Amino acid sequence: MTREQHEPGSLHELFVAERALENSAALLQRAQELDVPISLLTDRAADALSETVTPQGIVAVCELLDRPLETVLSGDANLVVVLVDVSDPGNAGTVIRVADAAGASAVILAGETVDPHNGKCVRAAAGSLFHVPIARVRDVGAALAACSATGLRTLAAHGYAEEQLDSIELAMPTAWVFGNEAHGLRPEVLELADIAVRIPIYGEAESLNLATAAAVCVYASAMAAHKA
């Protein structure tokens, strides 16, 4: 692949602090094998480039990871996660990690959802941004329509839905739709989904947070599909 032909996530350059040299030998060797430029920095300069309190001393310049919507959905997609208007980057990153672990085909960030390249989102995803295809689309209706056109049933997670998670067929190809942490899914989005589904609460908790609810729903579908 030439320098001009970059895939999502392609590495352009590494900046490495003096303190990170010894513990990053294998990484630096691999970068050299791939002809990735490596620039040495002082510890102070590396700290200035990082958003974290205790940075590791390595900063990479990469291609953006998101792809066009039409390229992340295919006829063999069995499980897709759609995040609508999710504002917290930690939640978004955690759900991307859950989707990756559950074997999802793609994650779609729709509406006013946070940028997946946000530093906190990247850290929360713990590498999963490089494993599962990511698409961003402003039009929520277009995102759900694309899922339906691919043969996916759209299930909207909604705390007040009539249907419970344990009462529906979960083995079929599914796109799970999750909404904003504070307000959930807007009524017009719920109307676009095939079925609204709630997770039963057996204890005294009022609700589950977004990332936990997503983990329960996505893994329920993944396990059902693997048993089928």
- Report the topology of domain 66-227: Alpha/beta knot (3.40.1280)
Is 54 or 197 the better-scoring residue by pLDDT? 197
Distance of alpha carbon 111 from alpha carbon 137, whole angstroms: 7
- Whole-number pLDDT of residue 76: 87
For residue 24, the model assigns a pLDDT of 85
Q: How many whole angstroms separate alpha carbon 223 and alpha carbon 216?
A: 11
pLDDT at position 2 over 80: no
Least Cα distance to 220 among 64, 97, 69, 102 occurs for 102
| 57-108 pLDDT per residue, tens | 888 888 888 999 999 998 889 999 999 999 999 999 999 999 999 999 999 9
Contact between residue 111 and residue 138 where contact means Cβ atoms under 8 Å apart: yes
Q: What is the pLDDT of residue 3?
A: 34
Taking the domains of the chain in order of start, what are their residue ranges?
11-62, 66-227
Q: What is the mean pLDDT of residues 182-190?
A: 95
C-alpha closest to that of 160 among 184, 176, 141 = 184
